[in-house]
Chains A and B, each alone.
Chain A
Amino acid sequence: MASTELIDNTILKSQILSKDPVFWQNLAERTRQTSDFSEVSVLSTFRRKALSKGFLPAQEARTKIKLAVIGGCTFHPLSDLILHFLFVNGYDCELWMGDYDNYIWEVMDHSSGLYSFNPDFVLLIPPVWRYRYSGKLTDPQSLVEEEISRNCKDILDLCNRINTGCGAEVILCNFILPCYHDPGSIRTRTLASEWNSLKSLNMQIGLQAPNYVSICDLEFLAARTGGLRARDDRGWFETKQPFSTDFAVHAANEIMHTIQAAKAPAKKVLVIDLDETLWGGIIGDDGLNGIEIGSSSPRGECFKEFQRIIKNLQERGILLAVCSKNELENALAPFEKHPEMHLRRDDFVSFQANWNPKADNMAQIAAELNLSMDSFVFVDDNPAEIEMVRQFAPAVSGICLGADPSFFIRLLKDSRFFEPRNITEEDLVRSQQYKNDEKRMGLLTSSTDINTYLESLQMVAYANDFHPIDVPRLAQLINKSNQFNLTTHRRTESEVTELIGSDQVALSFRLTDRFGDLGIISIVIAKVVEEILEIDTWLMSCRVLKRQMEHVVLNELMTRAAQLNCRKVKGVYIPTSKNQMVKDFYTNMGFAVTSSETDQTEYELITSKFEPFSTKISVIRGSNDKS
């Protein structure tokens, strides 16, 4: 163990000296594989050594963020760990640290360094001593409840002030529960015990926190990694360390993960193998009665439980697809006929059972769902299949389940691919929406004339100015849409909120048809600059391509342009690796090119010359105003 580590470190050192770009890959890989504080510290030193020599990683796909850290403890070495984890995951983080236990003043005083730093994220670590229950174990419950509510309100109030003061998202650490035996079993029988009162405070914070607050759930993290090991009393009394050094690694990782979740899209589709993944055995060889599924054997129970977990994901809005080397008829049989199966054919939005390479099937699923493959996670028991997909469809993330089905659930649940940031109502019905898409496709193939088809959909679009109730979904669309997205400008929920009631044009479009409500599927944001309406953002969910929705959006936008006395509307296309689909969009919509560079093309459309498109969609304006 020690000697391989030494060799690795020696190699890393020589890679710094020769400025070998593979150093950064190795550094990231080593960082991912450890949770040991000293090890991460060494890697962090390597990182700083390389940077001090002017040796940087490749700059594409790196994101700059500004993080402020405030709270009632010292922030080093936690802050350095956070910087390190962010760095190896592609984030160049500028850091501002508040003074020890000065956070209340820093938040309250708008002339404090916190606000002049203008952070994107503020990490708030409240000290437990200020919020633990101060009364007696025997105090009446109502008294304890009152203090807990007051503490919860105090903390969330600070978050609110931060958010209104600088628009930053807040990452709020909750409290590690004290793992001492005292006061014994009475601990659970009174709300006044430190254990119960902090647990209750944590829960209230979580339930009441608004969407601009992400909870860094230290209570959970300490339960997972060991409560006794989470804190270090010597570290607290000597240098006001909030955590033990090893727990600081877990916390820093979690904070990095929270920032990543706010910035990068989550996965949308789980693509699943069948034989030895959803049941034991080979359906083609063993037949319906031969496969292991259900309570007849321990292995069968594992597979059944694994199916239940997958079903839960589906109920949370994750789309399921099958990708299996099988005869279709064999593959379908368990879903249709086996009584022990949790999953049924209807749970899947795409079902690929054939003998094609799995990477090809992934592409087929992507085409059917109109989603790009980087939103896919593929699970298979067979490492060779995982490797094959990794090579030929590298955008897909793989989870190799291996041979022992008792590990499957943990592998899936600890993969962290499917963590919703904020649960929006639309997430819950999305899966149903895609099922309806399948029906729509069926309708399309059976009707010859596209106009007849569109008319038969009975589409209604609701055009609205941005509304507070829609903010989570709007931010989600802005941060998740890659393909039909002209500029790929991302915005946090706070930035979206700022647009409400501003002088910018910020329109959302909801679409319904006779199969259901597709939710908000398009957004356009534009601002008036000297009688010109400049489009900053135009995006659309690919689920509504070819539905004339973009025509509705342009009609609305041009109406606004006329109302605002704008002579023309300007648009820009900024190419990315994913938005080739809209390369010629503005031209197709009747805009003229005004300048063309490799990194962007600019267009304009004269307001007076615009002829509204006729569409098969009826439009209702301002429906949100009534809600």
Chain B
Amino acid sequence: MTKAEVLAKLQDVFDSTFVETVIVTEELSANDVEEWDSLSHITLIVSVEKSFGIRFGLGEVESTRNVGELADLIVKKVGAA
């Protein structure tokens, strides 16, 4: 799976998680989205795991700084799976 494909699929996940419309870009981070707080974060990450069929390790997601890095992590995980 390429990073572009991952980002496109992430757009679907964001659409079904947030009420407001959020455009997925590599630079996007929680600070840019009002609804993206520690609470909706949990829902978001579980949805990402479900839709890519992966599971993040302890602390892995926390170490990513934006959606681009999250996508890199997903590419790595999907490749390994």
Contact = CB atoms under 8 A, between A and B. Distances in A.
Interface of A: 9, 36-38, 41-42, 45, 48-49, 52, 76-77, 80, 234-235, 237-239, 241, 245
B45 to A, nearest CB: 9
Contact of A45 (B17, B50, B59, B62): B17
A80 B18 CA distance: 13
Contact of A234 (B16, B19, B43, B58): B58
Given A76-B39, A77-B39, A45 B58 contact: no
Nearest to A44: B43
Interface string B53-81: 00001110010000000000000000000
15 contacts: A36-B50, A37-B46, A38-B46, A38-B47, A42-B17, A48-B19, A52-B19, A77-B39, A77-B42, A80-B39, A80-B43, A234-B57, A234-B58, A238-B62, A241-B42
Contact of A38 (B18, B39, B51, B57): B51
A45 B42 contact: no
Contact of B46 (A41, A45, A80, A237): A41
Contacts of A234: 57-58
Contacts of A36: 50
The 10 A-B pairs with the shortest beta carbon distances in the complex, nearest first, are A76-B39, A42-B16, A38-B50, A38-B47, A41-B43, A49-B19, A245-B46, A48-B19, A77-B43, A234-B58
Contact of B19 (A45, A77, A237, A245): A45
Contacts of A241: 42
Contacts of A239: 38, 42
Contacts of B62: 238
B21 to A, nearest CB: 10
Given A37-B46, A76-B39, A238 B16 contact: no
B16 A9 contact: yes
A41 B39 contact: no
Contact of B58 (A9, A37, A41, A237): A237
A45 B38 contact: no
Interface of B: 16-19, 38-39, 42-43, 46-47, 50-51, 57-59, 62
Nearest to B51: A38
Interface majority SS (helix, strand, loop, mixed), chain A: helix
B59 A238 contact: yes
Looking at B17, B57, B62, the one whose CB has the most chain A CB atoms below 10 A away is: B17
Contact of A238 (B39, B47, B58): B58
Contacts of B43: 41, 77, 80
Contacts of A45: 16-19
Contact of A76 (B16, B42, B57, B59): B42
Contacts of A38: 46-47, 50-51
A36 B51 CA distance: 12
Nearest to B17: A45
A14 to B, nearest CB: 14
A487 to B, nearest CB: 39
A234 to B, nearest CB: 5
A234 B58 CA distance: 6
Given A42-B17, A76-B38, A238-B62, 6 more contacts: A37-B46, A37-B50, A38-B50, A42-B16, A48-B19, A238-B58
A49 B51 CA distance: 21
Nearest to B38: A239
A619 B27 CA distance: 81
A16 to B, nearest CB: 11
A41 B50 CA distance: 12
Contacts of B47: 38, 41-42
Contacts of A49: 19
A76 B45 CA distance: 13
Nearest to A238: B58
A326 B58 CA distance: 65
A164 B53 CA distance: 48
Contacts of B42: 76-77, 235, 239, 241, 245
A325 to B, nearest CB: 48
A49 B19 CA distance: 5
A245 B19 CA distance: 20
B74 to A, nearest CB: 16
A137 B45 CA distance: 39
Contacts of B59: 238
Nearest to A41: B43
Nearest to A46: B16
Nearest to B16: A42
A42 B58 CA distance: 25
A237 B50 CA distance: 20
B54 to A, nearest CB: 13
Contacts of B58: 234, 237-238
Contacts of B18: 45
A37 B19 CA distance: 17
Looking at A37, A42, A45, A235, the one whose CB has the most chain B CB atoms below 10 A away is: A45
A41 B42 CA distance: 11
Contacts of B46: 37-38, 41, 245
A232 B16 CA distance: 24
B35 to A, nearest CB: 9
A238 B61 CA distance: 10
A286 B43 CA distance: 58
Contacts of B51: 38
B19 A41 contact: no
A249 to B, nearest CB: 11
Contacts of B16: 9, 41-42, 45
Contacts of A52: 19
A38 B50 CA distance: 7
Nearest to A48: B19
Nearest to A234: B58
